[in-house]
Amino acid sequence: MLKVAVICLRASVVLFIAALTSAASAETSVVRISRQPSLPYLALMVMEEQKLMEKHARAAGLAEVTVGWLVVGGGNATNEALLSGNLEFGNAGIPAVMTAWDRTKGSSNPIKAVCAYNSAPVFLNTRNPEVKTIRDLTQKDKIALPAVKVSIQALILQMAAARTFGKGKYNQLDNLTVSLPQVDANQALLSGVADITANFASPPTQYQQLKNPGIRTILNSYDVLGGPATLGLVYTSSKFHDGNPKTYGVFLAAYREANAFIRQKPREAAQLYLRVSKDRNPPEFILSMINDPAIDFDMVPKGLERYAGFMHEVGSIRNKPGSWKDLLFPEMHQAGGS
């Protein structure tokens, strides 16, 4: 009788350990990813169209993964979705990700970046013939950008103002900025009748604008930052990263394959972009941007330390990262970022 009891006890222990192992190895079966319908998000469009997350999940031996693609309005909404568990991978401009990292640093669920989604210049274009540089902007000028003070364009404008007028006047041009969706901002600039005389946009819109007589660039972000710099980041919560290591690795593998597709088959990538985004530009126009050396579909973060240093200096974030690696999860630490 005692022998039977011992055998039963051992069997129970084995089953208990097996149950714990199974629970520990179980990962999410649903992955929700945000993106926007513009060219900087091309790699994500490739991932969606070619079902690369699903492909790499099968290769990794994971259970069937359901991937949802969401359009989330703005960095604040993305941050809230990540922290509330309603989004696994967010995508946003540098200020939103830096703010999320800063506010959650030292908490039970820090937010960090996964990788860059690309590097690209952003142009401040104007139709005002009297404006040659940002020094010439007056109260008669209104600058449309995606979001006042919190978009990547707003941050670069502050950095340019600090360099031009002095660090203490980094926000001197903020009162000229207006938040407008890109479509509305573009229409306002090109119409010539609205009070919008300048637009800080992104590809492909900024290049479209320059095709119009009288529109010219007065500021290039690469000039402000001293070279190529990341436009935005993919990011997630530590809770998701730590609890789903295989799924996290699957995302990185899928993203790498998407970028490789863009580099190896740029014409097909341009067609895919036009199909998914519903953009009406000619394929050759989109292809010219994909092939532009200044636009790099690469996961390696560039210029994060410059962005973070400025944001800390002006008080936009409390914590200053020791290096760009502090902002990212370890999987990208060997990538050679800056």
Residue pLDDT, tens place only, 155-164: 999 999 999 9
**Quick count: other Cβ atoms within 10 Å of Cβ 80?**
15
- The sign of the torsion formed by the CA atoms of 20, 237, 251, 65 equals positive
Residue pLDDT, tens place only, 12-50: 433 433 333 343 358 999 999 998 889 999 999 999 999
Query: What pLDDT is recorded for position 25?
Result: 56
What domains appear along the chain, each with residue ranges and CATH number? 27-120+229-332 (3.40.190.10), 123-225 (3.40.190.10)
Fill in the amino acid letter for 26: A
pLDDT at 74 over 80: no
79-88, 231-240, 327-336: which range is least confident on average? 79-88
**Mean pLDDT in the chain?**
91
- Strands 123-126, 111-119: pairing kind: unpaired
C-alpha to C-alpha distances, 268 to 45, 106, 334, nearest whole angstrom: 12, 44, 30
